[in-house]
Homo-oligomer: A and B are copies of this chain.
Amino acid sequence: MTATIPSLARRLDSVQSSAIRDLLALTAREDVISLAGGLPAAELIPAQRVREAAAAVLSESSAVQYGETPGWRGLREVIAARESASLRRTVDPAEVVVTHGSQQALTLVAQALVDPGAVVVVDEPAYTGALQVFSIAGAEIHALPIADDGMNTGELEQRLRDGLRPALVHTVSNFHNPRGVTLSDVKRRHLAELAARYGFWILEDDPYGEIWFDAPPPKPIAAHSDRVIRLSSASKILAPALRVGWMVAPKRVCDAVELLKQGADLCGSSMTQQMTANLLSDDAWLEVHVDGLRAEYGLRADALRGALDARFGDRISVSPADGGMFVWLTFHDGTDTTAMLPKALDNGVAFVPGRAFADTAEHAGAARLCFASSPPAMLETAVSRLYSAHTLS
């Protein structure tokens, strides 16, 4: 008798095959410039300071032992203090759960709050990692076409009036992945008001908020509502290998997530959590470091947008880049980016086709390009390769 994998076929059939994942394999090819991944620039990860943090915390035996499920107390205190400053109200460390990257928080929140068949509202296009989690949870996903000022809260209100009752509304509030846009302050307040009126949770997914170029984004949605579960991460500003993300949410949500985390992995790494606290609490260093990231990523965004504009002119439009790691490219000449991708790879450049983020014909001509991983000259080469691939299409 053959041992079977019973749940899998059923549960994963509905999970979109991840174009990002398949493409990450290609980024390993030396000859391909990858604009596909969402990796911070290796040369901008503060490796030396991370080494110092490792040496500092590893002098204590608490850094090698099991830790508490909701995260090392010292790190939760640092995060609570930073969030208090950002939200302009006191956040208690008990309202913080440290997770294994913010992706784990996304999964545990979905486990806690999303029953099979429950409605989850997302942006269109949306972060594929969120789509995957909500699909695995068996959610009924409603996608709202996103605007240049973020989630379409007007359309959301209309659907709520028509009877839609979401358990959860997910958005990447700052420098949206993949759309690049930022939710306006007015819409943040509107979304908060809708959550209060219709009783849903807002999942404010905010890994990029610190990487602004000219001006900080508006106050977090969580500053306007107590129905917000706010996610962020050390991956984009410090180092992905810390695998430290966090959730800031009302205590009862934290309690639920903590219980699920206990089953999921018992606890996080005392070592990387103590290292993260060491790094995040070194205010003087952190300010200089993050300012440096902002400046360099800003240059890269300009380089990519400039090169695209110079090469393609009015055949395309490119989203503004006020921060984060991505721009959203849209072809107006009927180009199908999924069909173009193999030619682009042949020409030594990778991107993620729009269809990976929303399986609608509307985004067939779009693509997400990451400007963060490559220096300006390489971005220019990438665009000229993209241009060759486009010409051949």
Q: What is A's interface to B at a CB cutoff of 8 Å?
A: 1-8, 10-12, 15, 18, 21, 24, 37, 39-40, 42-43, 45, 47, 50-51, 54-55, 58-59, 61-69, 99-101, 103-104, 107, 111-115, 118, 129, 132-133, 136, 167, 195-201, 227, 235, 239-243, 252-253, 256, 259-260, 262-272
Contacts and interface: CB of A to CB of B under 8 A. Distances in A.
A50 B65 contact: no
Contact of A112 (B8, B200, B243): B8
B15 A39 contact: no
Most B CB contacts (10 A, CB to CB) among A7, A240, A241 go to A241
Given A107-B265, A136-B263, A265-B100, A5 B54 contact: no
A103 B167 CA distance: 29
B66 A55 contact: no
A241 B5 contact: no
Count copies of this chain in the complex.
Answer: 2
A268 B355 CA distance: 27
B61 A43 contact: yes
Interface of A is mostly: helix
A92 to B, nearest CB: 18
A252 to B, nearest CB: 7
B115 A240 contact: no
Contacts of A62: 42
Contact of A263 (B3, B4, B107, B195): B107
A262 B130 CA distance: 11
30 contacts: A2-B199, A6-B113, A6-B115, A6-B167, A7-B115, A7-B118, A8-B256, A18-B262, A39-B65, A39-B66, A42-B62, A45-B61, A45-B65, A50-B58, A51-B59, A64-B239, A64-B242, A66-B235, A67-B241, A100-B100, A100-B265, A100-B268, A101-B265, A103-B264, A129-B263, A132-B262, A241-B271, A241-B272, A243-B267, A269-B269
Contacts of A8: 112-113, 256
Contacts of A235: 66
A3 B256 contact: no
Nearest 9 interchain pairs by C-beta: A1-B199, A64-B239, A241-B271, A241-B270, A66-B240, A54-B54, A104-B265, A51-B58, A243-B269
A264 B199 CA distance: 27
Contacts of A114: 6-7
Contacts of A239: 64-65, 271
Nearest to A39: B66
A169 to B, nearest CB: 11
B271 A242 contact: yes
B266 A136 contact: no
Nearest to A68: B24
Contact of A253 (B5, B51, B262, B263): B5
Contacts of A104: 264-265
B61 A55 contact: no
A105 B328 CA distance: 36
A65 B47 CA distance: 10
Given A1-B197, A7-B113, 10 more contacts: A4-B167, A5-B256, A50-B58, A54-B271, A100-B243, A101-B266, A103-B264, A129-B262, A129-B266, A271-B272
A59 to B, nearest CB: 8
A117 B10 CA distance: 15
A230 to B, nearest CB: 14
